Amino acid sequence: MSLREILIIPDPLLRRTAQPVPEITDSIRKLGEDMLETMYDAPGIGLAATQIGVMKRVFVMDCAPEGEEPAPMVIVNPELTWVSEETETSEEGCLSIPEVYEEVTRPERVRMRWLGLDGETHEQEFGARWAVCIQHEMDHLDGKLFIDYLGPVKRRMITSKMKKLKKERSRV
């Protein structure tokens, strides 16, 4: 397993659309392992392949509450087959936009179909933090970031803050 660098905005790779994975191979399994290791190290509860510069429709998540057994998931070629009409507003962060937390409103529950590392197609309904994380990660795979749901002034302010942060980090 190896830690991968998480891209920080602004970075054109974070705006690209990821490509579907034709089949589960050892390299996809290794990618999932590396993404989980990178996510836990961040620490985070989700991570999309585009955030480490890999344009494949893969994300990982582990939304198990603190103190409970970890529940790591490697999700390949995710599709939302249903979203609830009811919405929920919650505070989101992003490992590619460090130290920024803003409220985003999304459908409260979703049904997702995906290809597992076992090569089988899975479909399950999710709520609470899992539903938020899934929608956040699937946005990443389409080059969309949670700041896109904010107003243009706030989005521009956050982007310039990240430019400064990247400049400081490159000095060390």
- List, by residue number, the catalytic residues: 137
- Positions touching ligand K2U (CB under 6 A) are 44-48, 92-96, 129, 132-133, 136-137, 140
| Number of other residues whose CB lies within 10 A of the CB of residue 37 | 16
Residue closer to Zn ion (CB basis): 24 or 78 = 78
Any contact of residue 94 with Zn ion (CB under 5 A)? yes
CB of 51 to ligand K2U, least distance (A): 6
CA atoms within 13 Å, Cβ hemisphere of 65: 1
DSSP state of 56: B
DSSP string computed for 87-124: EEEEEEEETTEEEEEEEEEEES-EEEEEE-TTS-EEEE
Show the site string, 49-88: x = touches Zn ion by CB under 5 A, - = not: ----------------------------------------
> Of these partners, ligand K2U, Zn ion, none, which one is at the site of residue 34 (CB under 5 to 8 Å by kind)?
none
Amino acid occupying residue 56: K
100 binds Zn ion (CB under 5 A): no
